Each structure stands twice: as structure tokens, then as C-alpha cells.
Structure 1
């Protein structure tokens, strides 16, 4: 299941453009981590749509990206009224990531629903708060069957489904398969062993990695890897599998060079270009 490779003469457009819809006043860093991962995995261009109050700061922190200010709620979340503008920007992109650093679940749920109504034929990754309205968006998700990847850990999956976390942890492989088939999404159920399931019933597990990956911001980098790989042309299942593996392998290399505990999420993406060079 190789990752699509650009031709020797291809430029950044050939490797795809990613739109990251992310961030809040309290979590600019989540957007930075996700966007860095998008670029480190080889996507060609990066654009952010973020709350207006952080757009300038994010643009200064990420000189490789375009940072576009969106209308925001009083709490600092992207307002649902921004959906039309975001959808227009997404139309120029190869893949879209929604969720890192979006703290207001109610506002984010309204925004995600509005975007699912407007976005057509684009691969999407839903992460963090963007996943919480999954049950309410069943009909909207059906329009995007096979094109969406969701990336919950057990606690987020429990919140998505209205179940106890212990029930999810009792049989994570079965839950990942169930959700993938019921909602038509690719599911990455994160944990010490991650379970990846496709809407056709196919499933994989990956225990590659180590306990040090359980650190603040690590999930943002994984979501960025998957989105960047989709922008390069990988289908959602393939992008999810490679993203999980690259995330784990980066953690293993950091454990060897830094130590098992204490390496940072910001260091994870920096390991990936060398891993890809060796493997691809």
C-alpha cells in the first residue's frame, strides 16, 4: 500500500493543498502542531482558517502557511456563519482537517454540520471537538461515505457514542468496526494499540510506538499526518494506516534519542521526513 509519490519534475501543487480549520484563543499551539505535521509528511501547501483573534499570531508562528481570519463567537471559537467562506476556501484544496484546538463543542458542532452540507467530494479528517456531533450528523455523513477519517481516543469515542469509556476499552477493535460501518467513515481509535477500521468492514491494529506518545498535542500531529497524506493522493484508509505507523515510528526514534518520556509533540513531525526517505 505505497504512498503516492510526486514526479521528479512536480512542484508543490502536485503534492496537494491542505486546509486546516482549527485553533482558539487558548489553543493556538494545536493548530501549529497539526499544520507542521501536514507539511512534514510532504503536502505541498498549507492554509489555515482560524478565529480572527489568533490569525496574525498563527501566521507569524507558521511562515510556511497562509492564515485567514474567520468570524468568531464571544468565546473565541470559529462561528458557524464562517462555513460559507471556509467551504469556498476548501474548494481549492485537496484535503481538509477540522478540529485541532477547537474548544467550544456547541459552536464547533454547528460549524461541522454547516460544512458537511457544503463540502463535496473532498477527503476530510475530523479531530477533537469536530467529532462530538457524530451521532447527530448521521445523514450528513452519508453524503461523504468513505471520505471522512475520525481520530478519537477511547474517551472521545465514548463521548461520541454516549457510552462508558470502559465499554469502549473492553473491545476497541469491535467498536472501531461498528462505527466505521454505521457512519461510513474510516476510524482511527487511538491508544497504546490503535485500531483502524474502514467502512467496508476491513480492520487493522497497530501497536507500533511507545508510552511517550501519550503527551499533550500528540494527537494533533497524527491528524496532520493523515490529512497531509490524503492531500498527496492517498485514499483515506491508506492515509490512516500510514499516519498511525509514522506517528509510532517517530515516537520510537525520539525515545532512542531523547528518552522514553519527556519528548514533545512538536518534535514528532521532525522525525518523519527521514522515515519516509528510508521507506519510500
Structure 2
């Protein structure tokens, strides 16, 4: 499902109107009708016994709200319309819909001065629903004056709030909220979900999100060069690697995992177990030699490889050739989980990376090793996936976590394009950015997954999918989605506070069963 900014949605609307000759009035009519259809679907048994307040602004979003009011009135719903604008400021298709309501004899209440807000307060006393059609996707900045006060009054009411297209006060492109903002129980958005819904704290204002079709040609985002998508179950099902009945373990690839150090052997073990659990045929985990017995004891189905180590029980420079040998017989290398920041180990990683002849999934200290010399990325001739959390990305870019979080999509996209890698920027709503400009935003997952080892599991999932023949981007998108979905499945039974990284692996089979793959 394409994910668009407010500016892109405006271009899509204009293409639909000008190129495909779909009148704006028709789009507005479809939008309002779909809001009512969704409302009736959710509250069919009681709508005719309820009172609905529709609050509209002067723009096209307000016009959508006027259509909503008309359809509700025609269905016998007690509906009152409040307009946060002077009559002369309402133009175009919105003005046409306002004329229709006037011709129908519907009372209209204009809220242009502070004293007018008493009408809204009185109307809200017995209201069951409020339809917010004040600001649309073009809104930026902060609400002011009477509009700001009206939003605050609505938020203090006990009525359920339905936002038309976007909660008024949320910037649809950035997700930023600079002042008073409608806190919706339901948001019904048109055509395509908006990027800002999943940025910053916009999710606190959305409520339950529904995307409805208003007859905009579905291929328009692609025609306009939009390469950003929201990851959904439908999106990933087609990405699953196909399995032939005559296959054997070699068919499904061989994952080499290199990591571990004293106190962090579990990270490499989680990565290895995750890669095997997601379908890789063979997994070999290489760790410092003195820690190898731990791997042997923890993992039954995974092979292990003792590697030369430093006195601190991290990998030494002498591990270079044995690792190259491991990788030579493998399909993909997962490098970094639990590796440590020991200077000799970091030097090993920087020497190893340009020599590799297989795809690489780089995580944790494997990423941190690049912070001192990021130009090494340009020396690697194989597909690379890096899976940084915001702190690791900030170290790579020599910036702050706050600046990374300010523009997660932009940061990931620019890095991927500059270095020719696939970036999985972890966090709330992980971003997968490809070198060719494609961006995927994943919304599966929850804050129970903010626990030690969760990222190691993700690395194993991605590496395991690459081993089975997926390219780096598909493996990252599918792996990230399954990782989050398994976490969501886990919290249903274990609850958020009790979720462990290993549970993500345990609940993966249930996710696969639910997806019927």
C-alpha cells in the first residue's frame, strides 16, 4: 500500500481531476459518503438514535464534512453543522456543498468569534459523535484563535471523535503536532495512508485508522514516482520464498553467524536460532574459541565454529582466515551480534568486510566498527544490509539521536542511496530503505520488543531469508514484518512487560500459520 505525504496527495488529487477528468466535486462526494458508510458499518444499530456534531473548516476538508452532514441527515440522524469560517471564505466545491445544505433548510452555526463557541459547547452536551473536518492534508503549523479553542472544547467532550482524512492539527507529511490537535477515536483517510500518521507522536491522535477508496486510480502513486510503501500482510505474502517438494537442506541456504564475546554469547546464539527458525537449511555460529562450549550447549540444531580470540575473549585478528573460510561455504554472513567493541575485534571487522564475497547482514558492533571509517562501505562489492538502531545510525553519521529521529525516513533513504546498501532503521515503525529509492515503513511490533536480544533475532530473520534466495530488500521487508508480527502475537499471551527476545522466535510459527504460508 503506497504511503504518501500531504503534498503528494495533493498531486494525486490534481492528476485524478485534470488527467482522468474525475471532478473534484465527485471526489468530495465519494469522500463524505465513505465516511458515513464506515460510521454506519461500525455503529449501524444505534446511529439513528444518536446526535452527531459536524465541525468544518473553510477548505476542501470542510467540504468533505458538509457531505458527511448531508448523508447523515438523509439517513435520519440528528446532525448539527458548525462552521469555523465566515461564509465569504468558503469557495469552490466546498461552497457548492454548503449551498446544498442551505437549500435543504439545514441550520448552520458559524463560529467566527469567541462568543460563538457557546453554541458548540451547548451542542456537545448531548452529542454522541463529533465529525472533525476542520483541517486536511494541507495543514501545517498550529491552530489559532477560535479554531484552537474549538479543538480544545471538542477534546474535552465525551463524544466519540471521527477525523475526516486527518485529525485536525496533525501535519500529514511530518506527523508533527505544534499546538491544539483533535484527539480522534477514529480516523478515516482517503485513497492512501499518509506518511505523517506514523511519524513523531501522530499516532497518539489517530485512534483507529481506516483507509477508504474514493475512486482515485490506484496506480497514480507509481506513475508519479512515489516509491514509499506501508508494509502490510498483503504486501509481504508474495515475498515468501517458494519451496519445492524435492528440496533438501542445501536448497534453503547456509547462514554463517559471526559474533559473541565474553558476556554476550547469547546474542550470536539468538541470531543463529532465528535464522534456522525462519527456514535456513544450515546455520553455523562462529564465536571466540573459549565460548564455543556455551554455543554447543545452548543450540542443538545449529552448528558452531570456535574462532581465534583475544585475551578478553573477543575475536582476534587471527580469526580473519577462518571466518573467510566459513563464509566461502555459506550463502550469507550475519556479522556483529555480541561482537564487542574491543579494538582488535573492530580492526578485524574493518579488514574483513572488503574481502567478503557473499551478502552481508551487519548488526550491532559490526555497524559500530564502521563508525571510525565509514568509507569501508564503499569497498564492499556484495549486497549489504545494515540494521542500526537510532544510536548506531547517529554514530555512523556523527550526529545526534534526536536528528536521526527527526527525519527517520529521510536519514535512512539518504544513507542507503549514498552507500548503495539496504538500511533497516530500527525503532517504533522500522524503516527499510533501498539503494534505488524504495522505502518501506513497517508498523508491526510493539514496545514489549524493546528488550535485549530483539535486534539479534531480526538479524537472524533477515539473514535466513537471504539464504533462501530473497534479495536484500525483500528479505529486510519480510523479516522486519515477521519480527514485529511475532512480537505482536507474543504480547497477546505474555503481555508487553513479559516479552523476551526468544519469544519472538517462539511465536513465529503462529504468525506463519495466520498468514497461511
Q: Could you state the TM-score of these two structures normalised by the residue count of structure 2?
A: 0.52
1:249 CA drift (Å): 0.3
1:35-114 → structure 2 map (5 Å cutoff): 35-114=272-351
Contact 1:251 1:268 in 2 (8 A): yes
Query: Residue 157 of structure 1: which of 393, 398, 419 is its match?
Result: 393
Query: Residue 194 of structure 1: which of 427, 430, 451 is its match?
Result: 430
In 2, the alpha carbon distance for the partners of 1:277 and 1:91 equals 34
Instruction: Pick the structure with greater CA Rg.
Output: 2
1:272 CA drift (Å): 1.4
Structure 1 residue 124 and structure 2 residue 355: aligned? no
CA offsets, 1:196-246, max 9 Å, x none? 101111111112111101111111101110000000111000000011100
Contact 1:95 1:230 in 2 (8 A): yes
More displaced stretch, 36-45 vs 104-113: 104-113
What is the number of equivalent residue pairs in this alignment?
279
More displaced stretch, 59-68 vs 270-279: 270-279
* Structure 1 runs, 4 residues or longer, greater than 6 Å off: none
In 1, the alpha carbon distance for the partners of 2:395 and 2:374 equals 15
Contact 2:271 2:456 in 1 (8 A): yes
- Where does structure 2 lack aligned partners over 5 or more consecutive residues? 1-237
Question: Which residue of 2 is the match for residue 253 of structure 1?
Answer: 489
CA offsets, 1:146-192, max 9 Å, x none? 61000011111111221111110110110001111111110000011
1:45 CA drift (Å): 0.5
Structure 1 residue 224 and structure 2 residue 465: aligned? no
Question: Which residue of 2 is the match for residue 182 of structure 1?
Answer: 418
- Where does structure 1 lack aligned partners over 5 or more consecutive residues? none
In 2, the alpha carbon distance for the partners of 1:183 and 1:164 equals 20
CA offsets, 1:10-39, max 9 Å, x none? 111111110000111111111111111101
3-state DSSP of counterpart to 2:498: coil
1:136/1:183 Cα in 2 relative to 1: closer, same or farther (>3 Å)?
Answer: farther
In 2, the alpha carbon distance for the partners of 1:109 and 1:66 equals 24
Contact 2:340 2:365 in 1 (8 A): yes
In 1, the alpha carbon distance for the partners of 2:446 and 2:300 equals 31
In 1, the alpha carbon distance for the partners of 2:376 and 2:442 equals 30
Contact 1:146 1:184 in 2 (8 A): no
1:136-155 → structure 2 map (5 Å cutoff): 137-144=373-380, 147-155=383-391
1:138 CA drift (Å): 4.7
In 1, the alpha carbon distance for the partners of 2:345 and 2:416 equals 22
CA offsets, 1:87-121, max 9 Å, x none? 1111110111001011125333212222223211x
Contact 2:354 2:381 in 1 (8 A): no
Question: Which residue of 2 is the match for residue 276 of structure 1?
Answer: 512
CA offsets, 1:261-280, max 9 Å, x none? 21111111111133234432
Q: Could you state the TM-score of these two structures normalised by the residue count of structure 1?
A: 0.95
1:127 CA drift (Å): 0.3
3-state DSSP of counterpart to 1:69: strand
1:139/1:166 Cα in 2 relative to 1: closer, same or farther (>3 Å)?
Answer: closer
Contact 1:20 1:35 in 2 (8 A): yes
Contact 1:77 1:102 in 2 (8 A): yes
Alignment RMSD, CA only?
1.5
Contact 1:94 1:123 in 2 (8 A): yes
Contact 1:186 1:237 in 2 (8 A): yes
